[in-house]
Structure 1
Amino acid sequence: MTISAPVTRMKSGERRELILEAATEVFAETGYVGTTTADIARAAGVSQPYVVRLFGTKEQLFLDVIQRALDVLLAAFRGALDDATSDVPLGKRMALAYVNQLNQHGLLLSLMHAFVLGRDPVIGAAARAGFMKVYRFLRDDAGFDPLEVQNFLASGMLVNTMIGIDMVEDYDGDPDVRELMECAFPEKLDMVRALASQREQEQR
């Protein structure tokens, strides 16, 4: 995947965001270890030295991808929390806000890659801090009790896992997969399947 843009005409902040978007996609696809700054530069349509000049190291770029993903996710949760006009229960609004992040392919999966690097002294520490930031938001801002937060996070991890292993590929052929996905995505299944189909077409 390559994000095409007239990089030389963009402001520094816009260039940085462009690279972060591309890095989110690439890290989601190939993981931290399997990704190079050259891969990300190619996806962003910039030179590898330019990526290094902006971010310094692959590690720092990955940390910035994690922070960006957390910022986007928490902003979505905040939007759901502040929607005082909705008659949808808060827990359901928050869940829908989470699933809606699948529209930004790679965002949730890049966080998953960070979580599995828990023993890394730098990335693991950032992943734990980010996870607990989400926990505290759900508990303190959204008002969930600890058990409600646990159930919410567990459902989110199930969503991530199904997306990560491309479970949707077996939706039509396996009734048990269909049952599980219909349970996990009661309102958003059509969106999830459409995004998977779009992704498949882009990779051809």
Structure 2
Amino acid sequence: MTRTRLTAAERGEEVLQAAVLAFGQSGYAGTKTDEIARLAGVSQPYVIRLFGTKQQLFLATLQRVCDEIEQAFRDAAAERAELESLGDAYQRLLVQRELLVVLLHGFAASAEPAIGNAVRERFGGIYRLVRELTGASAPEAREFMATGMLLTVMAAMHVVGPNPVSCTWATDLLENL
């Protein structure tokens, strides 16, 4: 069997996919670059060569997560530029729990200046994009973002998304969302 040699860009993509899983599972502080390397099937020095530091890798991962959220919103708005359509797109992202939990870890690690600056900028960018795509007012966009954060937190707690834990309060809270 012949193995295809991947380009640095393709390897970098594999490392980012592994980083989403690892950071989503253990957070910024709890994840080691050698764990990400193992998941990606590369060496830890190679991860460092590609991304520099763990913080730079986390920032690249956070950027990737926000890019995916924004792209889901753009795709939804291309079909129907309404908050409901964007909400449906976000609901579909809930099956990728680690993706959204990386965002939460970004908020939690905001005391680190580089991470805080990046997460604030990207969250603000998502807010502006929601308003731009839908024409939503500031209060409508705020409610939309708050609902998205609620769903993100609930996904982190495993009460929404794939194989949710049944909780009466969650069912009640999600009714009519």
1:80 aligns with 2:76: yes
TM-score (norm 2): 0.89
Q: Calculate the aligned-residue CA RMSD, in Å.
A: 1.8
Structure 1 distance, partners of 2:13, 2:57, is 11
Q: Which runs of 5+ in 2 are unaligned?
A: none
Structure 2 distance, partners of 1:61, 1:120, is 14
| 1:110-121 correspondence to structure 2 within 5 Å | 110-121=102-113
Identity %: 41
Contact 2:94/2:152 (8 A) holds in 1: no
Deviations 1:5-40 (A, max 9, x none): x6x611221111111011001101100000110110
- The residue number in structure 2 matching 1:157 is 149
Structure 2 distance, partners of 1:59, 1:37, is 10
- The residue number in structure 2 matching 1:177 is 170
Higher relative contact order structure (alpha carbons within 8 Å, sequence separation ≥ 6): 2
Q: Which runs of 5+ in 1 are unaligned?
A: 1-5, 185-204
Aligned pair partner of 1:91 in 62, 66, 83:
83
SS in 1 for 2:30: coil
- The residue number in structure 2 matching 1:52 is 48
Deviations 1:44-67 (A, max 9, x none): 111111101100100000000011
Structure 2 distance, partners of 1:116, 1:100, is 24
TM-score (norm 1): 0.78
Name the count of aligned residue pairs: 172
Structure 2 distance, partners of 1:21, 1:104, is 12
* 2:43 counterpart letter in structure 1: S
Deviations 1:72-107 (A, max 9, x none): 1111101111115xxxx7111100111212333411
Structure 2 distance, partners of 1:163, 1:78, is 22
